[in-house]
């Protein structure tokens, strides 16, 4: 007897009537068991039991649908669509099937009896175990076959990317010769064109290398999963009663052949190569999605999981050797499994992960998933001593978000204000400003950052620009802040001067003095500063004629080219994109 077999008079007959009804609907739709299994696997998010063997056992009253009503409705929806039935007919057949299902479920629980051929309970248990082996072997075979096809597709894509790289190298070398000829002939236009094409080819080569790296990383994961699937098949095939289940499936036939270049581009031209790389990117996206789907079928501890055993799959994903594959589960675990002790333990375990990025990700999930948990709070305190600044910063922000006004978080963020890296200082002061708005220490830190030396160093300039904006938003009436903002208008970095344009609009909207500062900034030589001025004038001085004239000077007619009046104090227009301010004009 197979697992789930329904024996005993009326019960067996009623389940058989239900199975015969479903079989008849599938036959009318022209669908076999394998077709139904594939269609049901895609329906309802793939959350119901839908293997070919399971459907065959339902037809033979040897298994029950899981979940009963949802399975029945999904089954009939598929057959009705395939048979072209009306909505009314679909509803009628659903009612008929549900009536058969209710009658079968209402049958008293069957009693296990000895089979007429004299089989003992021990023999029945052996038959049940064999059915389980068949089910697991079928699942393992499907997984192994899917992995082989995925590996083949990845190898083809990688070979194609190598062909693209070879074509790009030929273009780059050929352009080198063309560039020399253009130099010797003093062909300035041709020289500029060749150099532009070379830069484009180099950019395409970098893009192709990134896509190839993604394929290689995916292949490493697929190879590991294939090894596990093959080991599972060998283990199940070694069952003494499964000798007749010899593995005879063959995988993708023949040697792997790379895509012919003509299938992606017709000539080694840059526009065709760009299209080929875009297509390769799409194939990569689909391949990575397939890998995530396959991951759901595996647990790192070995064996195969039921489709609905999501938590076990997520916990197993946290044990992958590649840190990039350990990131994704945390958000889903923290948001969907807060009630589970196993989920909580998995998150706590990964706070000791050797990769700092993973530790930071899971530290962030601790507070989101289990707010108020004393054990989680203690883990936050422990992570504040982590060797990684990123982990400490993330932990402090999570602690402040989950336990407002916590002094430990405040002290850690305040200590990071002295970190030598500007981006960490910016993140720390941003967190302090978010969770402790108006705090005098936040104000003092921002003022210190504005006056911090650094010239045109990009990270330091970004920090100064952020500080100018935060000060204007937090303390617009403070004379010290106003003086600081005006002084920053002379900052050597254009990012800071752009921030000043917005800060002036925040502190002095609609005032002549604020408008005069914007007018001076409008003469800046950097496009980014002038663009910020356009936005600020449109927002802060919508009815001012002087402001309107400046915006018109900077943007020109909305449908025409960018232009300036001859009397404008700046020399070149540049690609100022301030057309969003034209409705104000």
Average pLDDT over residues 238-255: 49
**pLDDT band at residue 141 under the 50/70/90 scheme:** confident
Q: At residue 547, does pLDDT exceed 80?
A: yes
Place of tokens 């002061």: 429
Fill in the DSSP letter of residue 241: G
Task: Let me know if residue 377 belongs to a domain.
Answer: yes
Find all residues with CB under 8 Å of 121, minimum gap 6, and list them.
112, 114
Rounded to the nearest 10°, the torsion over CA 139, 142, 143, 147 is 170
CA–CA gap between residue 201 and residue 174 (Å, rounded): 11
> How many domains does the chain divide into?
3
Tokens representing residue 37 in the block: 């299994």
- Rounded distance between C-alpha atoms, residue 80 and residue 24, angstroms: 12
How confident is the model at residue 307, as a pLDDT?
A: 36
For 395, list phi and psi in degrees, rounded to 5. Answer: -65, -45
Percentage of the chain lying above the pLDDT 70 cut: 70
Q: Which structural domain range is residue 384 located in?
A: 321-409
Residues 287 and 330 in one domain: no
* In a shared domain, residues 284 and 363: no
* β-pair partners for 304: 298
Helix (H) or strand (E) holding 326: helix 323-326
Same domain, 329 and 387: yes
Mean pLDDT taken over the chain: 74
Question: Which of the pair, 107 or 267, is modelled with greater confidence?
Answer: 107
Q: What is the pLDDT of residue 320?
A: 64
In a domain, 128, yes or no: no
Residue 506 inside a domain? The answer is: no
Please give, one letter per residue, the 3-state secondary structure of 449-495: HHCCCCCCCHHHHHHHHHHHHHHHHHCCCCHHHHHHHHHHCCCCCHH
Residue 485 and residue 503 in contact, taking contact as beta carbons nearer than 8 Å: yes
- Predicted confidence at residue 508, as pLDDT, reads 92
This prediction has a pTM of: 0.41
Q: Measured between alpha carbons, how far is 298 from 293 in angstroms, rounded to an integer?
A: 10
Higher pLDDT, 365 or 433: 433
Q: Which of 378, 384, 346, 341 is nearest to 365 (CA)?
A: 346
Evaluate the CA torsion angle 256, 262, 267, 271 in order and state its sign.
negative
Label residue 294 by pLDDT band (50, 70, 90): low
Mean pLDDT along residues 203-220: 83
| pLDDT band, residue 257 (cuts 50/70/90) | very low
> Are 342 and 382 members of one domain?
yes
Query: What CATH number did the domain enclosing 361 receive?
Result: 1.25.10
pLDDT category at 264 given cuts 50, 70, 90 is very low
Query: What is the structure's pLDDT at 553?
Result: 79
User: Does residue 504 carry a pLDDT above 90?
Assistant: yes
The residue with greater pLDDT, 43 or 281, is: 281
pLDDT given at position 308 = 39
pLDDT at site 120: 60
Please give the average per-residue pLDDT across 254-280, as a whole number: 55
Output the CA torsion 384→386→387→391 (10° steps).
-80
What are the C-alpha distances in Å from 257 to residues 261, 490, 522? 12, 62, 60
Q: How far apart are CA 277 and CA 164, in angstroms?
A: 8
Considering only the C-alpha atoms of the chain, give the largest distance between any 2 of them, rounded to a whole number of Å. Answer: 109
Q: What was the pLDDT predicted at 559?
A: 46
> Quick one: average pLDDT of 25-43?
80
Chosen domain end from 374, 409, 444: 409
Residues 85, 146, single domain; the answer is: no
Least confident of 278-282, 407-411, 435-439: 278-282
| pLDDT average, residue stretch 181-197 | 83
Neighbour count for residue 161 (Cβ, 10 Å):
28
pLDDT tops 50 at residue 338: yes
In 3D space, the residue among 574, 524, 530 whose CA is nearest the CA of residue 551 turns out to be 530
Three-state secondary structure call for residue 245? coil
Question: If we measure between CA atoms, which residue out of 39, 232, 252 comes closest to residue 139?
Answer: 232
**Pick the residue with more confidence: 561 or 447?**
447
Contacts (Cβ under 8 Å, ≥6 apart) of 500: 468, 485, 488, 489, 491, 517, 521
- Structure-block tokens of residue 331: 């958000």
**Range ranked top by mean pLDDT from 101-110, 246-255, 351-360:** 351-360
Range from 44-48, 65-69, 524-528, 580-584 carrying the lowest mean pLDDT = 580-584
User: What pLDDT is attached to residue 129?
Assistant: 66
Predicted pLDDT of residue 500: 93
In terms of phi and psi (left: phi > 0; alpha: psi -120 to 50; beta: otherwise), the region of 57 is: alpha
If we measure between CA atoms, which residue out of 488, 512, 509 comes closest to residue 499? 488
- State mean pLDDT over 204-220: 83
* Pair 174, 96 in one domain: no
Cβ of 241: how many Cβ atoms within 10 Å? 12
The residue-averaged pLDDT of 460-466 equals: 86
With respect to residue 449, please indicate whether it lies within any of the assigned structural domains. no
Chosen domain end from 359, 382, 409: 409
Assigned domain for 103 exists: yes
Could you tell me if 393 and 424 are in contact, meaning their C-beta atoms sit under 8 angstroms apart? yes
Structure tokens at 432: 């302090």
Residue 474, φ and ψ in degrees, nearest 5: -90, -30
What's the pLDDT band for 44 if we cut at 50, 70, 90?
Answer: low
Q: What is the pLDDT of residue 501?
A: 92
**Whether 295 contacts 277, CB under 8 Å:** no
Same domain, 163 and 275: yes
Is 468's pLDDT higher than 80? yes
The single residue listed with the structure tokens 């999930």 is 365
Across residues 231-258, what is the average pLDDT?
55
Inside any domain, residue 435: no
Residues 346 and 385 reside in one and the same domain: yes
Distance of CA 293 to the CA centre of its chain: 13
Categorise residue 510: left if φ over 0, alpha if ψ from -120 to 50, beta otherwise: left
Instruction: Confirm whether 362 is domain-assigned.
Output: yes
Q: What is the pLDDT of residue 245?
A: 52
Q: What's the pLDDT score for residue 124? A: 63
Distance CA 418, CA 514 (A): 33
User: Both 150 and 105 in a single domain?
Assistant: no
Dihedral (Cα; 73, 77, 80, 82), 10-degree rounding: -140
What is the per-residue pLDDT for 234?
A: 76
**Which pLDDT band, with edges at 50, 70 and 90, does 417 fall under?**
confident
* DSSP structure class, residue 370: S
> How many CB atoms are closer than 10 A to CB 210?
13
Same domain, yes or no: 95 and 230: no
* Residues 6+ away with beta carbon under 8 Å from 223: 151
- Helix or strand run (H / E) with residue 291: helix 270-295
Paired strand residues for 298: 304
Name the pLDDT band for 498 (thresholds 50, 70, 90). Answer: very high
Q: What is the pLDDT of residue 507?
A: 92
- The pLDDT of residue 115 is above 50: no
Is 84 found in the same domain as 26?
Answer: yes
Alpha-carbon gap, residue 73 to 200, rounded angstroms: 55
* More confident: 585 or 151: 151
Task: Say if residue 289 is in the same domain as residue 231.
Answer: yes
**SS3 state of residue 298:** strand
Establish if 472 belongs to a structural domain.
no
- Section 524-550 average pLDDT: 86
CATH number at residue 74: 1.10.260.40
Residue of higher predicted confidence among 14 and 4: 14
pLDDT digits (tens, 9 = 90+) for 309-331: 566 666 766 766 667 666 667 76
Q: Name which of 64-78, 163-177, 275-289, 301-315 the model is least confident about.
A: 301-315
pLDDT in tens, 422-434: 878 888 888 888 8
pLDDT for residue 117 = 46
Count other Cβ atoms within 10 Å, centred on residue 52.
16
Instruction: Indicate the residue among 95, 112, 129 that finishes a domain.
Output: 112
Cβ-Cβ contacts under 8 Å for 520 (sequence gap 6 or more): 489
Higher per-residue confidence, 338 vs 96 = 96
Is residue 71 helix, strand or coil?
helix
Q: Is 71:18 a contact under the CB 8 Å cutoff?
A: no
Best-predicted range by mean pLDDT (243-252, 260-269, 511-520, 563-572): 511-520
Q: Who contacts 356 (Cβ-Cβ below 8 Å, separation ≥6)?
A: 386, 387, 388, 390, 391
Res. 573: pLDDT tops 50: no
């Amino acid at each position: 007897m197979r697992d789930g077999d329904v024996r005993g008079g009326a019960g067996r007959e009623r389940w058989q009537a239900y199975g015969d009804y479903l079989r008849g609907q599938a036959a009318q739709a022209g669908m076999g068991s394998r077709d139904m299994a594939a269609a049901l696997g895609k329906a309802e998010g793939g959350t119901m039991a839908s293997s070919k063997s399971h459907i065959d056992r339902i037809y033979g009253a040897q298994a029950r649908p899981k979940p009963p009503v949802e399975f029945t409705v999904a089954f009939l929806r598929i057959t009705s669509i395939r048979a072209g039935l009306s909505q009314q007919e679909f509803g009628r057949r659903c009612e008929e099937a549900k009536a058969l299902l209710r009658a079968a479920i209402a049958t008293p629980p069957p009693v296990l009896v000895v089979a007429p051929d004299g089989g003992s309970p021990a023999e029945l248990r052996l038959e049940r175990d064999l059915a389980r082996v068949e089910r697991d072997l079928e699942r393992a075979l499907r997984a192994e076959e899917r992995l082989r096809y995925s590996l083949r597709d990845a190898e083809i894509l990688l070979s194609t990317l190598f062909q693209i790289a070879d074509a790009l190298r030929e273009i780059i070398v050929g352009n080198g010769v063309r560039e020399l000829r253009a130099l010797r002939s003093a062909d300035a236009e041709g020289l500029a064109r060749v150099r532009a094409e070379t830069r484009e080819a180099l950019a395409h080569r970098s893009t192709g290398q990134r896509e190839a790296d993604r394929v290689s990383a995916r292949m490493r994961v697929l190879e590991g999963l294939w090894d596990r699937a093959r080991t599972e098949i060998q283990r199940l095939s070694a069952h003494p009663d499964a000798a007749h289940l010899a593995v005879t499936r063959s995988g993708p036939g023949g040697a792997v052949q790379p895509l012919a270049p003509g299938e992606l581009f017709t000539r080694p031209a840059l526009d065709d190569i760009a299209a080929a790389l875009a297509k390769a990117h799409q194939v990569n996206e689909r391949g990575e999605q397939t890998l995530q789907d396959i991951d759901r079928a595996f647990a790192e501890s070995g064996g195969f999981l039921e489709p609905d055993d999501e938590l076990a799959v997520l916990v197993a994903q946290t044990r992958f050797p590649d840190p990039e594959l350990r990131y994704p589960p945390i958000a889903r675990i923290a948001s969907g499994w807060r009630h589970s002790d196993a989920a909580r333990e998995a998150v706590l375990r990964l706070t000791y992960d050797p990769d700092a990025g993973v530790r930071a990700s899971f530290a962030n999930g601790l507070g989101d998933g289990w707010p108020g948990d004393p054990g989680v709070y203690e883990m936050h305190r422990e992570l504040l001593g982590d060797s990684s600044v990123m982990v400490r910063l993330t932990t402090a922000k999570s602690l402040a978000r989950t336990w407002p006004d916590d002094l430990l978080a405040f002290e850690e963020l305040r200590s990071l204000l002295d970190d030598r890296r500007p981006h960490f200082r910016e993140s720390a002061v941003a967190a302090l400003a978010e969770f402790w708005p108006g705090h005098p220490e936040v104000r003092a830190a921002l003022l210190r950052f504005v006056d911090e030396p650094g010239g045109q160093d990009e990270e330091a300039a970004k920090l100064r620009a952020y500080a100018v904006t935060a000060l204007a938003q937090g303390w617009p009436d403070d004379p010290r802040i106003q003086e600081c903002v005006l002084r920053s208008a002379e900052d050597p970095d254009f990012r800071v001067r752009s921030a000043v344009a917005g800060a002036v609009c925040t502190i002095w909207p609609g005032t002549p003095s604020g408008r005069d500062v914007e007018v001076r900034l409008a003469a800046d030589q950097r496009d980014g500063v002038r663009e910020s001025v356009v936005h600020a004038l449109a927002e802060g001085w919508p009815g001012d004629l002087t402001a309107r004239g400046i915006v018109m000077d900077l943007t020109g007619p909305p449908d025409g080219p960018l232009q300036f009046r001859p009397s404008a104090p700046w020399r070149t227009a540049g690609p100022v994109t301030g057309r969003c301010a034209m409705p104000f004009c």
